[in-house]
Amino acid sequence: MAGMTAGWPAWLREHVWEIRFRRYVALMLAVVLVAAGVWGGMTLAREDRSCAPGIERPEGSDECVGVSTTAYDFGQRRLTDVIAAIDRENDSIASRARVTVAVFQPFSTADNDTLRELQGAYLAQYEANHHESGQTPAVRLVLADPGADSAHWRETVDALGRMAKGPDRLRAVTGIGSSTDTNKEAVRELTRLGIPVIGTSITADDLANGQNGKDPFPGLARVAPTNTDLARALTSSARISTDRAYLVYDKPGDPYTRTLRQSFERLLKGSPYQPSAFHPPQDRTREGATANAFRNITFNICDTPRTTDTLLFAGRHTQLRQFVNALGRRGCLDRKFTVLTGDEGSYLTSDKELETAALGRNLTVRYTALAHFDAWTDNPPARGGSRADARTLAKLLAQAEHEPVGPIGSAPLDGGQLTVAYDATRLAVKGIRQATPDGSRFPGLADVGDVWPQLRGSLRVYGASGWLCLDNHGNPYDKAVPIVELTPAGGSEFVELAWPEGRPPKDNCLPPA
């Protein structure tokens, strides 16, 4: 007789393997299990790089980048409320004909601008969907994060490209914050894909169309004046002359600092002094070794004749703060100096590293702001903007402190960034709605960009920061430029409105030929 066979192997053999039907079923199950196991193992082994729907960490990076369509707050608590508000608003229009507008900002960084950018964009969205509810299409906002310094702009732009072609109907991208090389690349790619772009606070001349008669970014519109215009407005306000000013600039510079420098250089043509250059780190938000350079530069400045009282600074805000701090310790404290710079100066109001004492030592810092709450309050000019337009935003902001509009996070101090973001989104909405043919619910992608040059005259956008009358290249014509001065307390104070053309635009707000 055969030996005893027992246990589960024998059971398995006799009750499963030897019965062909069960054998085949068991084999199929085994294959499915193995496949599931392999898949599961691979899934487990593969690092989950996802942060939220549409948002993930690229290889070799810990940043969460991509395009978020949910209430994901990018790990930034200060953004939670406003992003939740945007998500609610998006949900509320889910059943309406709607198009998507992306806000392009490094949300996962601690940059405070992102909050203002979102607040402004959201208030414009709310206004477009509610106060102008008769108009179509409704606007949905999504958050496109290219990472700090826009290092991962390509992935984000690719995602936006897909949304433009798909059912999301992406029709505009706003919020390109600063005029960096990566942002320039991103804008170039976005416009190459035919996606209309509205630069919120880019001021660099070479991140604009119409320079030297060329339009390298078809479909790009801007809310902020170019650096040239800012410099013209600044200098027209200050009424500086070549022998009284001294230029300090970033070398090699980025598009913003380069064009600002060039604008200053044009104004200083024939200056007796060679300007001083400093060499900041690649990431201009880092301290680097420039603090020493600025100490040395103060020596040069003190060496100038006593008639020199204006310092033109073409650099980013970190370097500006170092410069101001260095000036606070200059050898010639008895001499009075006024530092003039671009809109980067606005950052110093929230910069804890700023030695505010410097401002009490015969030193004034003035800069061009993109917008300012106080610009239109007292005795505003008759043209180029209005108190009523500014109040519309102020009312919205007040409503946003409570439901159903808000909450949207902490309130801004001067409201510059928020206001331009609001105006940029309103510009986007206007462009989209103007491009929507009668009887149609949505505009074509290319049509929106084509509309920009028409938004002037009676089709101008009555922005909270002033009139937005776009020229043929999508740049604002003679946009109001608030001149702001840093206060010794660390705050800012509106000084006056300046105009690139030296005066406000005419009533018809049509750019000259």
Partner 1 sequence: MVHSSLHGRGALFDTEPPGLAPRLTGLRPYQHIPTPYEHQGELPFVVLAGGRGLGKSAVLGELRSAYRGHTPVALIDGEDAQFDRPSPDGHAESWSPVSQATVTIAEQLAEPVTGAGRISFPRLASGLLAVAAGGWSDRDLPRIRQEAERILLMNDTGSWVAGFAGRWIGKVVAKLVASLSETGPVVEPIIEAALEAFGEGVAPTQRRLRKGAAWYCDYPNAGGNPKLGLILLSGHFRAGGASHTHAERYLVRALLADLDDAYAGVVQRAHRLGRPVVLIDNVQEPAGFHLMESVLRDRADGIADRVVFFAALRGHGHPALRNTVRRTLPELARGSGWVPGSAPSSRALLVALPPLSPDETLHMVNAACPGQPTHPQLPHAVHRLTDGNPLGIALIAESARQNLPQGAVSLGELLMADVALHDDRTGHPAHRELLDRLAPDDRLDELTVLAAAHDRDSAFVLAETGLPDDFGTAGVLDLEERLAQEGRPGTPGHFVGDPFLRVLLLLRLHRHDPDHAAWQWVHRTLIDHCRGTSPDHSGYRVRHELALGNVDFAVAHLRDTFLRLDTCDWLSALVLIASAPCYDAYDPEGRHLGNELYDDRGAVALGRTDAAQHLPDGVDVTLHLRVRRILHAVWQLTDPLVLPDPRVTERLRWELEQLSNQKPAGSETLWRASRDWPADAAAGRPFRVPGDDEEQNGGH
Q: How far is the CB of 22 from partner 1 (least distance, A)?
A: 6
Give the shortest CB-33-to-partner 1 separation in angstroms. 21
Q: How far is the CB of 9 from partner 1 (least distance, A)?
A: 12
Q: What is the largest CA-CA distance in the chain?
A: 120
Alpha helices in 275-316 (DSSP H): 290-303
The Cα–Cα gap between 305 and 317 comes to 27
Q: Return the number of the residue (10 or 30) whose C-beta is nearest partner 1.
A: 10
- Strand, helix or coil for residue 300: helix
Tokens linked to 292: 């020493």
The nearer residue to partner 1, 1 or 513, going by C-beta atoms, is: 1
Phi and psi for 110 in degrees, rounded to 5?
A: -80, 5
Cβ distance to partner 1 smaller for residue 5 or 133: 5
In the complex, what is the shortest distance from the CB of residue 97 to partner 1, in angstroms, rounded to a whole number? 53
Q: How far is the CB of 1 from partner 1 (least distance, A)?
A: 4
Q: What is the DSSP string of 119-185?
A: HHHHHHHHIIIIITTTSSSEEEEEEEE--GGGTTHHHHHHHHHHHHHSTT-EEEEE---S--HHHHH
Q: Are 407 and 81 in contact (CB under 8 A)?
A: yes
Q: Which long-range contacts (CB under 8 A, 24 or more apart) does 28-32 make?
A: none
Whose tokens are 């062909």? That residue is: 20
- Shortest spacing between CB 155 and partner 1, in angstroms: 53
Count the Cβ atoms, other than its own, within 10 Å of residue 37. Answer: 10
Q: Which of residues 26 and 71 has its CB atom nearest to partner 1 in the complex?
A: 26
Q: What is the closest distance, in whole angstroms, from the C-beta atom of residue 25 to partner 1 in the complex?
A: 10
Structure-token pair, residue 208 = 């604009």
Binding site for partner 1 (CB under 8 A): 1-2, 4-6, 10, 13-15, 18-22, 24
Nearer to partner 1, 26 or 459 (CB): 26
Q: How far is the CB of 27 from partner 1 (least distance, A)?
A: 12
Report the length, in residues, of the chain. 513
Nearest approach in angstroms of CB 11 to partner 1 is 9
Distance in angstroms (rounded) separating the CA atoms of residues 264 and 368 = 13
At how many degrees (to 10) do helices 255-267 and 227-238 cross?
A: 40
Q: How many CB atoms lie within 10 A of CB 305?
A: 10
Closer residue to partner 1 (CB): 15 or 391:
15
Q: Between residues 15 and 395, which has the closer beta carbon with respect to partner 1?
A: 15
CB-nearer residue toward partner 1: 1 or 45: 1
Judged by beta carbon, residue 18 or residue 353, the one nearer partner 1 is 18
> Measured between alpha carbons, how far is 147 from 253 in angstroms, rounded to an integer?
21
